[in-house]
Structure 1
Amino acid sequence: MLWLIITTGECNLKCDYCGGSFPKEIVPWKVSYNIENLKKLVEKDKSPTIIFYGGEPLLNYKFIEKVIDNLEKARFGIQTNGLLVKLLPKDYWKKINVALLSIDGRQEINDKHRGKGTYKKVIEAAKYIKNVNPNIETIARMTVTNDSNIYEEVIHLIELNLFDKIHWQLDVVWSNKWDFVSWARNNYVPGLRKLLKFFVENLKKGKIIKIIPFVGILSAHYHQGYIGSPCGAGYRSVTVLSNGKILSCPIAVREKWANLGDIYNGYKLLEEPMPDYCKKCEFRKYCGGRCLYAHMEPYWGKEGFIEIDEVNKEYIKMVLSIIPEVDQLIKEGIIKVTDLYYDPTADSTEVIP
């Protein structure tokens, strides 16, 4: 199971689509629970993955050290903006399996939303941690906004040769409503088609580019589909707040529906992780409901939710359209069906943007 451990609600950036730090009274900036309580819960898990989360988790790097020292049998990862990677000693980076680094694509796009100079710093961070730990997997964690060009941003990140995988989230949950439909029709969907063509051209050469929104759909087709949000929210993944509360979703820090328990008394996973709205959908095994939070907190209203849903259905159909070509490549032995397996929960990534 995936354990998202929030080390602090504080962040050292204030990205324009995020807002920066959580209020201290909602997500405390220091961990208040005893690590032994966390250890007792995690040790009951036969295959735990711990991903450090925030805020910016490295602002509390001492707690990260403590968790790694006390839970040596876990698999470790971190979601970070990359500005503070040198705070964590090299010996601890060598014990981390996966690092998700926040970067939105080309420098001008990234710095517009995350702050001037952040692009260069995250590139330096990726090089640094790869040098310290050559075995670490680095994942580009993108936010796609209304001025992003999905093809240009993703290709740019691929060509850097610093990231093993790439995933993105659409800026459609936290921000004020914008003309998403026109942008998707004229920019995003055409860009996805171009990107998918690039992906298929590489498949024909036996190379699987780990673009997670593509690989995640293919994995669901050839292997096991998703019974809930692919990130595992509430059924294969839990979030431990810095005050010891246990939630189904790391974003839902204020919402009562997300409460699963606490570090002292244990927790109960969701029995029905797929929303009712999605249970009869033909794409449910590929999508799993997309995002638990978006269902529970539809800030753009029902109409806006459906608009996003329709665009994602178009993207899923687009990926599924390459299945005959993929079948032929598998038949010819150019790629293996086992190479198309991907578990997003293990990396805390998003399959459905």
Structure 2
Amino acid sequence: MQYDLEDLRALLRRDPEPVVFFYGGEPLLNPAYIMKVMDSVKAKRFGIQTNGLLAKRLPPEYWRRFDVVLLSIDGVEEVTDRYRGRGVYRAVLRTLRWLKEEVGCRCEVVARMAVGRASDIYRDVSHLLSLGFDKVHWQLNAVWTDEWDPREFLEWGRSRYLPGIARLRDWFLAEAARGRLLGIVPFLGIYRAMLLRPYDWIPCGAGRRAFAVNTDGRILACPIAVSERWATVGDVKRGVVKADFKLDDRCSRCEYRHICGGRCLYTHYEKYWGEEGFDAVCEITKATIRILEEGKGVLEDLLARGVVRQEDLDYEPILDSTEVIP
């Protein structure tokens, strides 16, 4: 790291309840730094996003201090290994079992999916939950990809993805009727906005409630915007000095802004797919919300009768470092 750890400690002391996540790249390439931070700062919550392949480089006593661990895995073995390399699926599952059975990590373990052409959202999400992941979170492989163009993405979304979302919704509501809320992050987050607390900004909090400290000490509005000038809002010595971000006009006026929040700050400033791509992703997002909206009344009734507890539905993505809108 190119900054003094004491500067980081001083920065975090400005927050009465800091939530600290280790993010990459792959954070476990530098386990010594993770240990130094965890030993020297006080945090309300510790978390890590990792592919899990180097998990044993971090001693078990540190894993037991995490509140949440996000492991990158895309679904069934065929899909995961297609996108991440042969043998990755089984390696991630070994890490999952190691954390839960040998380490005794009481953290929530979240499957962090990237969803692309080969994915079947119902099959892959239900599969990962069946393996023992506490929650499943996914992002669509859109905007910064050469897997497809906006038109191909939209065709796939309409014909394959959205029908799978409808199947997942039906399963989610059926389990909710039994008093069990499945850990499907986009559903928890969207229903929270519909029924309990709307979003007034992008759900992940980028640029307002969540910031990333880069390896060179710059503070970024978004952890993936490591080279874009607009994303630098300060540094570890000074703190956040300027963070005045705005949503695209269409998002500011959108009827679903209180649910979607604008989806992703990065895509507002870096439109790699152009206007056509922005519109394609927006269409799939709105359609997803409408599919879940069809089940809103069922959840309202379950909440009113006490079958589902309000506190279980009141999901806060910033605490898990997840994005509610895929």
Could you state the TM-score of these two structures normalised by the residue count of structure 1? Answer: 0.89
Counterpart AA for 1:236: R
Q: Is the 8 A contact 1:76 1:97 kept in 2?
A: yes
Written as runs of structure 1 = structure 2, the 5 A alignment for 1:1-353 is 31-131=1-101, 132-161=103-132, 163-176=133-146, 177-178=148-149, 179-268=152-241, 270-272=243-245, 274-353=247-326
Counterpart AA for 1:242: T
How far apart in 2 are the matches of 1:259 and 1:332?
47
How far apart in 1 are the matches of 2:28 and 2:177?
40
How far apart in 1 are the matches of 2:194 and 2:186?
13
Once the two structures are TM-superposed, the CA of residue 272 in structure 1 deviates from its matched residue by 4.7
Counterpart AA for 2:70: L
Once the two structures are TM-superposed, the CA of residue 108 in structure 1 deviates from its matched residue by 0.4
How far apart in 2 are the matches of 1:265 and 1:332?
50
Question: What count of residue pairs does the alignment treat as equivalent?
Answer: 322
| Long gaps (5+) in structure 2 | none
In structure 2, relative to structure 1, the CA distance for the partners of 1:269 and 1:227 (3 Å cut) is farther
Once the two structures are TM-superposed, the CA of residue 134 in structure 1 deviates from its matched residue by 3.8
How far apart in 1 are the matches of 2:283 and 2:35?
44
Deviation readout 1:215-251 (Å, 9 max, x if unpaired): 1011112222112211110101001001101000011
The Cα RMSD (Å) is: 1.2
| Long gaps (5+) in structure 1 | 1-30
Q: Is the 8 A contact 1:283 1:313 kept in 2?
A: yes
Counterpart AA for 1:135: R
Once the two structures are TM-superposed, the CA of residue 45 in structure 1 deviates from its matched residue by 0.4
Name segments (4+ residues, structure 1) moved above 2 Å: 268-277
How far apart in 1 are the matches of 2:110 and 2:222?
20
Deviation readout 1:149-177 (Å, 9 max, x if unpaired): 1111101101112x111110000022024
Once the two structures are TM-superposed, the CA of residue 269 in structure 1 deviates from its matched residue by 5.6
In structure 2, relative to structure 1, the CA distance for the partners of 1:328 and 1:269 (3 Å cut) is farther
Could you state the TM-score of these two structures normalised by the residue count of structure 2? Answer: 0.96
Once the two structures are TM-superposed, the CA of residue 266 in structure 1 deviates from its matched residue by 1.6
How far apart in 2 are the matches of 1:255 and 1:206?
45
Percent identity of paired positions between Structure 1 and Structure 2: 45
The residue matched to 1:194 in structure 2 has which SS? helix
Deviation readout 1:59-108 (Å, 9 max, x if unpaired): 00000000000013441100000001100011111111110000000000
Q: Is the 8 A contact 2:46 2:66 kept in 1?
A: yes
Q: Is the 8 A contact 2:234 2:242 kept in 1?
A: no
The residue matched to 1:168 in structure 2 has which SS? strand
How far apart in 2 are the matches of 1:141 and 1:63?
23
Counterpart AA for 1:327: E
Once the two structures are TM-superposed, the CA of residue 273 in structure 1 deviates from its matched residue by 5.1
- Residue in 2 aligned with 1:3? none
Counterpart AA for 1:300: W
